[in-house]
Structure formats: structure tokens, C-alpha cells
Structure 1
Amino acid sequence: MKISWRAVTAASATLSAASAQDASGITASLTPAATTVVAASTSTASAPPLFPLEAVQLTDGVLANVTAAIQNETISSLFTFGNTVSNETVSKRGTHSCKLLPGDLLWPINLVWDIFDLLLGGRLIKTAPLAASCYPAWPEYDAATCAAVTSEWLTSNLHMGDPTSIMLPLFVGRSCMPPGFNYTDTCEMGGYPSYAVNVSNVAQIQLAVNFARNLNLRLVVKNTGHDFNGKAAGKGALTIWTHWLKGKAYYPNFKAANGYVGPAIKFGSGIQVFEANEFAKSVGATVVGGEAVTVGLGGGYTAGGGHSPLSSLYGLAADQVLAMEVVLADGSFITATSTQNADVFWMLRGGGGSTIGVVTSLTVKAHPKLPTTTVTFNFTVADTPGPDAFWAAYESYLDNFATFVDAGTYGYFFLGASEFEIGTDYAGSPYYYFRMESFVAPNMTIDQTKELLAPWFNTLDSLNVKYTPWYNYADNYYDAWVVAFPQEYVGTDVVKTASRLMPRSVFQDDDLRNQTFVALKNGVAQDGLFVAGFHISGTGIAVAPPTDNAVLPAWRDALAHIIVGAEWNTTSSWETIYDLSLYVTSWMDVLREIAPDSGAYMSEADLIEPNLQEAFYGTNYPRLYALKQKYDPTGLFFALTAVGAEDWEVQVTDPLPYSWNNNGRLCPVSS
């Protein structure tokens, strides 16, 4: 149906002017718009049964009841399905228009939002920034709440458990943070969404998708908000919050469409890594998930490829997926496998999140119970005879990357110059430190891990480096992992990063390996940067990687994922942020030149990465873009750096170039 926006406005005004009795009569006749689809709750030949929440769906029959209850076709049409995959409705970029913002003439009036909330079963949240409780101008102002929020501001759980907060507030415009963290003394909505749907079933997701598409609202999806580029943010947007989709089911003998036969686990998309690992342990299995405990398994993590402490053994998170359930941009609900909706299945395993739909669950391989050893240690320049010995100790780590990866292990390390061993204080700081956050050796005992580490540690000993490794062994992966990876610090707006995947050829070539070492050494010792790095591969030694997903090809030959970053202060100006952002992007050219045919991990990459389509998606991008146009021709789903993002621009209101954060109107790229 083609919607007349003037008719929507007129109808909304009519409803708004109606008597209280008439309005209450309309709303009183509405019930949650959903039905339990029994037939759909049975399993297909290649996917497990739907979770109960997935059997609760929006149908044409339900929408007919909505129309009858509202008795205003223009209003009821706001919730209807689209037909975005039919040839005649495929639209071109030129037909797109700017997404609505609060205050626009066509922005829905309160009564329309009320009707939407009733159809959702009361799951709509009119949002406020998490730190609004600290500012008297906000209705949420409360000193006790502010104190609690401030004390927990740097912890992941606080932001993961809020419907709109994200881990890096730089991408909402630094608009509202607690005193002491905020660069101003004010609180504004900035790039935070205006409304959120706290979804508990598929029907609510379908309603939200249809409502946003039909009204031309900006739509974002938030699972946890754990993303380096703020993809779960959007000024004035409607958020679909999948955080509480927590279903779990174990299938000891699952037969997948791709030929896999063996144990599998189906997870709701709101399951976080710690929950996935706990459940896998409870059934005597192991699953591939991120190192950080709060990462959402079924969100942008798996969609973007998803690296893991188990990747050098079993591959990436996207490689594990056997089936998934998805709400597409037209509001339809589908199952995707290698034989059913196979193009969607291909795209959503490595092609990035916020592209063509909302994943409600995914079924993944369950690997055997895995004895695991982790090792944690650090040393500073003060623990060595001097800077030369410190850097030689670090260089010896790079010399062993191939050996470590080929043994199926993973290392997560930090390198910088700071008395506090966090980041780098300033260019020229002499307080060098190396911190092995955790060296993970799956399927190895402590003695086997020591044997693997011996060549590196022998070099450290010969250099008179003082270090005290802490070995932790468990007969299962979860118990070893949980002590090695504490909850990460988030919530700051003082860092800009860029990254590069470094291939095997770099570490096999003495000259290229030395160039990489010199670049990272100079980045810390001379340029004021810090390094967060991983020895890792996207090709696990225990399995062959699939050939039917959209994972960036550069992952398959990687031996390292290297992140470099610059820092500023909470009170720094936008000019400082602008200058340092460009500096980090430019600095990364040295690694791009060393590994010109590689790429970057999209979930932990530079927002302004040059040639980002090639860097994040490689040769897959033309097909990904074509599928984006097929399944989401109106551009309902958008995120900075996502597939198709080049067709849009965030007209940032901060003193930054367009599309440097989400604090601005989303419009088609200016012609």
C-alpha cells in the first residue's frame, strides 16, 4: 500500500482532537497484535523447532483484526507488511528520503505511539540517556540513581542492560555522561534513539520493523551495544532491543542442511557469551564466542565474523552457524539455512549486522568438552635491563606468532607507555609495558602450554626480563576462560582506534616481520599510540573453514589482528578529537602498506577506514550490496560502515564531518 503522509497527519490530528471517550474507545479495543503460529513451531528438515517466543508472530489475520479495531485505514496501514523483494517494488537510491526526527511535521503524535505500544503489549519505552538522572533539567533526575550510575559507568553490564546506551558514547556525540565523565555540564539526547521496543517475541519485532518502514523512521537494532563503531545508536531512531531473547536448547544429534551431523545448540539472539559458555558447559560441550563476557552472540558479533579465543582451533563465530531465524525488512519471518533462504544465510554469516533483518535465534555447532589452559603475565621496562631489552622481548613474541597460531592458541595483549599500564600517556613516554591479558591454549595441559611457550620465555630469560606467568587449567573451556577475561571497561569517549589483519606472509618474511615490529615500536615509543593485539587465525586447525559464508577472506590467512589507538581527555575539544582521529587513520597506512592485500575486522575497526568496503568485506562486497538492495531496497536498516552505508549520510550536528558519529539526521547521500 502506498501511504499518504498528509493523510497520516490528518488522521493523527483527528484522533488527537477526539474526545477522551472516543480515544479510550479506540485504545480499549486493541490487544497485543500477535498470534501463536502452531504450524510454524515444528521443526523443518534442517532447523530446530522455534522457541515459544518465535511462534508468537504477526500475521495478515492479526493485522485484519487491528484494522477492524482502529477503524482508520491510514493508521492501521502503519503496521502492514511490505513487499520489498518483489521486482516492482525495488526502489533506487534516488527515491530514498531523509528519516524523520522528533519535531518534524510527519513525526507520529503521542496517540499513534500509544496505539503502537498497545499492539506491542506495553513493550515500548520512551527513552532517556542513561545519565539523565544526574541533570536537574530531566524528569529522570535523582541523586541516588545518579550516584549509582556514576559508580558503575565504566562497567559493561550497566550499558548492556540499558535499552539505548552503547559502550563508546563518542558515537552519540558525547551528549550525556555523568559529571566527571562529561565534557560539558549538560545532558542532551544526542545520537540516542527516541524510542525502544523491549522485544519478547517475534510479533513485536515484526510490528516495529513495519512501523519504522511505513513511517520512514530511522531504525536501529541493539543487542548489547558492544561495538567499536556505535552501530546501535541513531538520533531520533526507534530501537529494536533484542537483549532479553534468552532461549537455549541443546540438540545432541542435529542434522544440518549443510551436511553437518553432530551436537548443536540453539541460542536466542540476546544470549551473551558468558551465558553461551555456561550453557555449553552444562551440557558437556564448547561453543565459539568472543573473549569479552558481555558480547552478544547473536548480534553484530557473529554477523560480522566474530573472532574468539577458540578461532585458531575452530574458526570464527560465523563459521559455526547451522541455521538462523530472521525478521526481514518487509516484516516477514523466515528460517535461513544453506538450502532455505540460502542467500540470507550466506549474508548474515560474516556480512555484518544491521543490513537486511533482525536475527531472533541462531543454531551453532557444539564442540566437545575442551580442557583449556590460560596464561596471564606482564612486564614493564622496569622489569628489564632497559628499553633495548624490553623491545627485544616484545619482538621475540612476534617471532613466535606462526608457531602459536599453528598450535591452535590465541593471545590477547596490550602494548603501551604508561605508569598505569593503560594506553599511552604521551608521545615519548618512557614507561613501556607489555601485558598478556590472556594466552589461551585450548586442548592443552599446563605442561604442554609451557613447552609451547618455552622458545619465547627462553628469550625473555636470556634478556633478563622479570615476569611471573599465572597458569590456570580447567577440564572445560568455560572455567578456564571465565577467570582469564574479566568484564571490560567501557563508557569513555577518549579513544580512537584503527586496525589491520596481518597475514601469515608478513610473519614468514623476516623483512616484513621486522617492518611490523618497528612500526608498532615507533607507534608507542615515538608517536604516542597504544596497541591492542591478538595472535589469531580465522582458519582453525581442527576444522576446514566453510566456503559458503560472507566472512572477509583476509581472515583466512591472518596470523594477527592489530589495533592501534590514540587518547585524549574527557574535556578535550572536538578539534582535538578530529585531529587525533585523522592521525590514527593516517598512521595505520604503514600497516596497510605492509599488508596491502589484507583487510580489517569490521567490528573493531576504524570508522573512517579508507576504502572500507574492500577492507571490511573484500571480494564479497558486490554480492552483499546486491542482496542489500534486494531485501532492503528502502534502506530501512542502516549502520555506519554497514553494507549499503555509502548510500546514506548522518548529517552530524557536532563540529565533525558527516557520518563521523550518529548525532544527526540520516539522509540519502547528497547528489
Structure 2
Amino acid sequence: MKGPICLVVATAASLSLASAQNATDTASLYPAATTKAAKVSGAPFLFLSESVQLTDSVLADVASTIQNETISGLFAFASNFTSSKRGEDGCKLMPGDSLWPVQLVWNIFDDLLGGALIKASPLAAVCYPDWSEYNAEKCATITADWLVSDMHEADPTSIMLPLYEGRTCMPPGYNYTSTCTMGAYPTYTVNVSTIAQIQLAVNFARNANLRFVVKNTGHDFNGKASGKGALSIWTHWLKDKAYIPYVEADNGYSGPAIKVGAGIEVFEAYEFAKSVGHTVVGGEAVTVGIAGGYTAGGGHSPLSSMYGLAADQVLAMEVVLADGRFITATSKQNADVFWMLRGGGGSTIGVVTSLTVIARPQLQTTTVTFNFTVADTPGLDAFWAAVQSYIDNVEDFVDAGTYGYYYLGASEFEIGTDYAGDTYYYFRMESFVAPNMSVAETEALLAPWFNTLDSLNVTYIPWYNYADNFHDAWVVSFPQEYVGTDVVKTASRLMPRSVFQDDELRNQTFKAHKDAIEQGLFAAGFHISGTGIAVDSPTDNAVLPAWRDALMHTIVGIEWAFDSNWSTIKNSSEFVTSWMDVLRDIAPDSGAYMSEADLNEPNLQDAFYGVNYPRLYELKQKYDPTGLFFALTAVGAEDWEVQVEDPLPYSWNNNGRLCPVSL
């Protein structure tokens, strides 16, 4: 080896200084008011972090410095995807395998990254004396905050739903065992701050045949950010953002836009949009990463009935593909990538590093929150009639551009359903969101439902919250949700307009809600549409077509105790999957929102992707033929299996070796 590896980092940085300076100069123009068009035949500019890139010349310097082709080849771009180093069985390598990179290689990788490589350990390892991280004081803090999103998103590997990493290391009181193991947490994580680091990680994982995952905040219903033995990249600190007063985009849009880095969360996007006098379409939950799997999977929003899905807002994106190359994608440039990554799901063919999205007008917004229990009604019949009245009014609510997040169950504590047969029923409107409406207009829209509640002698106290901008109405209506538990399994279905226009099907939908609660399940759903009333839906993205006709996104789930064994979890999960046939039969031609769905969904490809799947699968083979990118619900998932180590069927979580499907 010739010279210290740190020289390679310096070389990479020096080769990027000119482009980084150009990006900085360009970016400085946009926050200022200007009427000059910024033609988007790509993106208007690159963020500084995106200007530090891995190039062929940098890799030549790496090879010259290392003087070992076997090692330097691990960091090379793909050449016809022939350089992947597979084991005899085709499985992704795991620690302990004979071909697993030796420590010297990991050290070189870390040097090339500029010291950004983290040897991973579970967040709760501090609670276990047999771990070197053991610290009783830190354990007390982690245990106290275990259900808080902020703590998990600030950790390089922790995910918010640990069921899908194997529930292998949780604090005392949450753990079903007395032990802590790695489970499906990755082995190493790269704390990325530049494109070059992402490219190095992609190349290394592909060439060394490592499992590869991407974590932003860890807010994912099916644990995409976990993977046993994996190399992970942590995009959480890609926090750049910029306002662009005017663009002329390749898809024909002209007007204001906002560009966000992959690490920008919903609350940050909303805050920034407000600060520049606009609104963006993002999720309801505070900790959703707007540029990750959320938008890639379609992305529903409190603003969707007004403006459509998050995927519909994208004008341009920057992506590191599976071959390690960094590209910009628009409707004209790398158009197939642009089509696929707007609705075709995350963890498919690349790492999205930033999005340029439409900046919508700043809207007056009214939100309404209230609840009622069976005790607030004359009896069971009145309670269920009140719930049915909501379902009867869903079409009118959606057609007015509103969104409602409802929760239905049976529990004295009004969380979930305690057990089958519990009659302590409750209905909670977490938030009814009325964009572009005053309080008086919202009251008028709700009057038919509320008149029915009054006629049923239901006691309820609606809290109206109004603001002259969307952010200020949203922020008080959607507090952080509790996370960190392994005690819930959910499934979902998109219910189309035809169901609500047919008296019998609409009544069946109500009866299904009632039956779910009586069977010991709970429901958490939304009245929402993927077709906004204020815009025309695009036809050039991979959004599940069922979204365009949906009026309700219905989630049904089941709970169990923290100390439940795997047999209980398996049986409970199978019950939810089976029960969902009720909704599948009511809406057989619809589908399910992949980001909040059952990973055991029957006919998963059709349910999550619909008629788009054949083209999506073809593009997957074109851009990622070695299967670098994988998720249990992603395009191409049927070609692989997670050989789960827990007493569960294969591919029920990420705690196992990733291998090609056995023939």
C-alpha cells in the first residue's frame, strides 16, 4: 500500500471543490426573490453535499494509493454488474462467513469515508451487562424515552417498530427475553454527509455481496431500515433545503418549488414551507422522512384530498443508483427512474438524496378533534349508528378536499382493543383536516354527521382549531405518535368510491368495522383520496392506481402483551391477514398502501403495485440485477427470502440471512 489512505479522502474532496463552489453560488440565488426562470432539465442546482461525488478519477487515485486490486476493486463502480462477489449459495454475506471482509478492509473503507463508519449496536444494549456499552444511567434514560420517536430517529440503527428486526434487544419492561442480541440490526452504518460516501457504501456493499439497507428516521411500518448482518447508510443528517421562487420543470409545471435533502422530516418541511409563504404535501406524522420511502411509496397526506399524493408533487430527484452512479431524474432525464421512484416503492433501485417538489399556496386550514365512547351514547345501538353515520358521509367529506384520521376500538383506556367481547367502545377523530376552509365552512360540512349524532343523543365536544396557514393548524393536531413497541400487527385496504356509492357495499364496510372490533381487533383509518380536487393527477408515475379512486384507507390491527411468545405473534398475525379478506371481498379490485400494509398480504405484488408491476419488475432487473436493494414489500422481493432465525416462517421479519428463493 502506498501512502496513508487519508490522502485518498483529501484527493476526493479536492476534486470536488470546484463543483461544490458552483453549487453554493447557484443555491444562494434562490432564497432571494427573483422572477428569472430556473429551467429544470434536471434540478436547478445541487446541494453542497451532493457536489462531493465519487468519480472514476477519484477511484483511480484510490487504486493507486492502495496498490491492491482486490481491495480497491471493492469500491469500484459496477461494470455490467459482473463484479458482485457472491457466495456459493448466492446468499448475501454475513459476519463469520469466509468471504466476509476482513477488518483491514473495513478500516480502509472507514478511512475512505473520512471516519464516518459506525460499528453498530442495539440502542438498548446499554441495559445489558454482557455488552461493552452497558451503562445503568443511560439505560434508565433510554427506558424512560423508549416510546418517543426522537430517540429512535437520532440513533444510527434503531427502528420505530422493532417487531421487524426480531424484537431482540429492548429495555427491561419491553423485552420478552432477558437477553440482548443484534437481531436484524445492521453490522455497520455509514453516517453519510456527502454523495461520495453513499456511492462508496453502495459500491462496497454490491461488490462485497453484503446486505444493504437505508435508514433515515426509522419510521417505517415494516422495518425496511433493518437487515441482519447488513451495511447500512444513515441519511438522517442530509438536512439541506432551499426555496426556488420559479422553475420551469420538465413535466410542464411552472411556478415555485422547494428542494429538500433526504434527511428532512415532515415537520421540518412544513416549517420551511411556511417560512417562505407556501405549503408542501407531506405526511401526518412528525417523524416521516419526506424524501425517502414515504414519497417513493406514494405518500398520503392531510393534503392529499386537495393536492394528491406526495409522489405527485415531485419535479426532480437526485439518486445514487445500484451501480454507484449519481444521477438526476426528471420526466425527461432518466425518465424511467423518475417514473419508478414516484410511487414504485422504496428500497428498489437506488438511494434518493434529494427531491424538488411543488410549493403549494399557503392555505387557511381548520382542524377538528373530538371523541365519543359508548358511555357518551344511550347504548350500543346508538354508538354504532354514530359510527355508521361517519362512513355514510365519507364521500362528501373527501369531495370537499378534507382528510380525517379516525380510530375505533374497545378499551377503557381508548387505545386499541383489549380483548374480543370488550364493549367499552370508543371512536376518536384524531383530526379532521379541512384545507382552504374557515371554521364556519367546516362546521357546515360536518353538519349532516353532527346532526345525526345529536339526534342519537351522542355527547361529543368538537375542538376547532383554525390557522391562516397549514403548518400552524397541523402542528397542534398531530403530536408525535408513540413508537418502539413490538405488540401490534396491522393490515390495510384502500376502499374505492364505488363502495361508498353502493348502499349495500357501504353498509358492509360499516359492518366490517363493527365485526373487527367485536373480534378483538382495532381500526385506524383515514378518509382520503389520492386524487386531489385542486389539481389533475399525473399519469407519469408508478403510484398504485387504486389510490386514484380511493375514499378511505382502512387499517385493522391486533395487539398482544410485551412478554408474548412467538407463537402468539404468529397466530395473531395470521388472524389479521385472514380477517382482512372481509375488506378484500368488499373491494376485490382495489389494493393496499404498501407503506402501511401487511407484509403477508396475499398476492402482494398486485395489491401494492397493481398493473404497474410488470414494468416495475423489468426496471428492477435493469437497474439492480444483483438485488442490492431489498425490502420485504419491495419490487423484486419475491426473488429473495429472509431465512428468519426466530420461530417464524421465512420472510416474516428481517432477522435472518438474505438468500435467493429456494427452487
TM-score tier, shorter chain, comes to over 0.9
Unaligned ranges ≥5, structure 2 = 27-38
1:72 Cα deviation from its structure 2 partner? 1.0
The CA deviation string for residues 448-485 of structure 1, in whole angstroms up to 9 with x for no partner, is 10000000000000000000000000000000000000
- Which residue pairs with 1:430 in the alignment? 423
- Which residue pairs with 1:45 in the alignment? 41
1:97 Cα deviation from its structure 2 partner? 1.1
- Which residue pairs with 2:354 in the alignment? 361
- Which residue pairs with 2:622 in the alignment? 630
Say what the alpha-carbon RMSD is for the aligned residues. 1.6
- Which residue pairs with 1:15 in the alignment? none
Mean Cα deviation higher: 67-76 or 199-208 = 67-76
- Contact kept? 1:84, 1:329, Cα under 8 Å: no
The CA deviation string for residues 41-64 of structure 1, in whole angstroms up to 9 with x for no partner, is 478634210001000000111111
- Which residue pairs with 2:460 in the alignment? 467
The CA deviation string for residues 416-442 of structure 1, in whole angstroms up to 9 with x for no partner, is 000000000000001000010000000
- Which residue pairs with 1:73 in the alignment? 69
Q: Secondary structure at the match of 2:291?
A: helix
Q: Secondary structure at the match of 1:459?
A: helix
| Aligned ranges 1:264-343 → 2 under 5 Å | 264-343=257-336
1:562 and 1:38 map into 2 onto residues whose CA distance is 51
- Contact kept? 1:222, 1:242, Cα under 8 Å: yes
Mean Cα deviation higher: 549-558 or 135-144 = 135-144
- Which residue pairs with 1:107 in the alignment? 100
1:26 Cα deviation from its structure 2 partner? 4.5
Matched, 1:541 2:533: yes
Q: Secondary structure at the match of 1:399?
A: helix
Matched, 1:31 2:31: no
1:83 Cα deviation from its structure 2 partner? 2.8
1:202 Cα deviation from its structure 2 partner? 0.2
1:250 and 1:84 map into 2 onto residues whose CA distance is 38
1:36 Cα deviation from its structure 2 partner? 1.3
Distance 1:137 1:349, change over 3 A: same
Matched, 1:163 2:156: yes
1:204 Cα deviation from its structure 2 partner? 0.2
1:585 and 1:408 map into 2 onto residues whose CA distance is 31
1:30 Cα deviation from its structure 2 partner? 4.3
Given residue 389 of structure 2, which amino acid in structure 1 is its aligned partner? S
- Contact kept? 2:409, 2:425, Cα under 8 Å: yes
The CA deviation string for residues 8-30 of structure 1, in whole angstroms up to 9 with x for no partner, is xxxxxxxxxxxxxx89x644654
1:224 Cα deviation from its structure 2 partner? 1.1
1:400 Cα deviation from its structure 2 partner? 0.2
Distance 1:361 1:144, change over 3 A: same
The CA deviation string for residues 96-154 of structure 1, in whole angstroms up to 9 with x for no partner, is 81001111111111111111011001111001001000000111110111111111100
The CA deviation string for residues 270-316 of structure 1, in whole angstroms up to 9 with x for no partner, is 10000000000000000000000100000100000000000000000
1:134 to 113, 121, 127: 127
- Which residue pairs with 2:571 in the alignment? 579
1:80 Cα deviation from its structure 2 partner? 0.5
2:139 to 146, 152, 157: 146
1:518 Cα deviation from its structure 2 partner? 0.6
The CA deviation string for residues 482-502 of structure 1, in whole angstroms up to 9 with x for no partner, is 000000111000011000000
- Which residue pairs with 1:615 in the alignment? 607
- Which residue pairs with 1:5 in the alignment? none
Matched, 1:409 2:402: yes
The CA deviation string for residues 372-404 of structure 1, in whole angstroms up to 9 with x for no partner, is 000000000000001110000000000000000
Distance 1:613 1:95, change over 3 A: farther
| Aligned ranges 1:175-324 → 2 under 5 Å | 175-324=168-317
- Contact kept? 2:6, 2:111, Cα under 8 Å: no
- Which residue pairs with 1:644 in the alignment? 636
The CA deviation string for residues 533-570 of structure 1, in whole angstroms up to 9 with x for no partner, is 10000000000000000000000000000000011101
2:405 and 2:371 map into 1 onto residues whose CA distance is 12
- Which residue pairs with 1:8 in the alignment? none
- Contact kept? 2:247, 2:256, Cα under 8 Å: yes
1:470 and 1:520 map into 2 onto residues whose CA distance is 25
Q: Secondary structure at the match of 1:57?
A: coil
The CA deviation string for residues 603-655 of structure 1, in whole angstroms up to 9 with x for no partner, is 00001000000000000000000000000010000011100010000000000
Sequence identity (%): 76
2:89 and 2:341 map into 1 onto residues whose CA distance is 24
1:299 and 1:369 map into 2 onto residues whose CA distance is 24
The CA deviation string for residues 210-266 of structure 1, in whole angstroms up to 9 with x for no partner, is 000000000001111111111110000001111110111111111100000001000
Given residue 16 of structure 2, which amino acid in structure 1 is its aligned partner? T
- Which residue pairs with 2:79 in the alignment? 83
| Aligned ranges 1:487-506 → 2 under 5 Å | 487-506=480-499
1:641 and 1:614 map into 2 onto residues whose CA distance is 11
- Which residue pairs with 1:554 in the alignment? 546
- Contact kept? 2:6, 2:114, Cα under 8 Å: no
Q: Secondary structure at the match of 2:108?
A: helix
2:502 to 495, 509, 512: 509
- Which residue pairs with 1:19 in the alignment? none
2:52 to 48, 51, 56: 56
- Contact kept? 1:531, 1:563, Cα under 8 Å: yes
Distance 1:403 1:660, change over 3 A: same
2:446 and 2:271 map into 1 onto residues whose CA distance is 29
1:605 to 586, 597, 602: 597
2:87 and 2:374 map into 1 onto residues whose CA distance is 58
1:158 Cα deviation from its structure 2 partner? 1.0
Mean Cα deviation higher: 155-164 or 116-125 = 155-164
Given residue 455 of structure 1, which amino acid in structure 2 is its aligned partner? P
Distance 1:615 1:96, change over 3 A: farther
The CA deviation string for residues 488-533 of structure 1, in whole angstroms up to 9 with x for no partner, is 11100001100000000000100000011111101102x0000001
Q: Secondary structure at the match of 1:400?
A: helix
Distance 1:439 1:237, change over 3 A: same
Distance 1:45 1:38, change over 3 A: farther
- Contact kept? 1:84, 1:632, Cα under 8 Å: no
1:634 and 1:83 map into 2 onto residues whose CA distance is 12
2:425 and 2:7 map into 1 onto residues whose CA distance is 68
Given residue 509 of structure 2, which amino acid in structure 1 is its aligned partner? T
Given residue 536 of structure 1, which amino acid in structure 2 is its aligned partner? I
1:37 Cα deviation from its structure 2 partner? 6.5
Q: TM-score by structure 1 length?
A: 0.94
- Contact kept? 1:532, 1:564, Cα under 8 Å: yes
- Contact kept? 1:30, 1:119, Cα under 8 Å: yes
Distance 1:67 1:94, change over 3 A: closer
Q: Secondary structure at the match of 1:345?
A: helix
Distance 1:324 1:208, change over 3 A: same
- Contact kept? 1:210, 1:331, Cα under 8 Å: yes
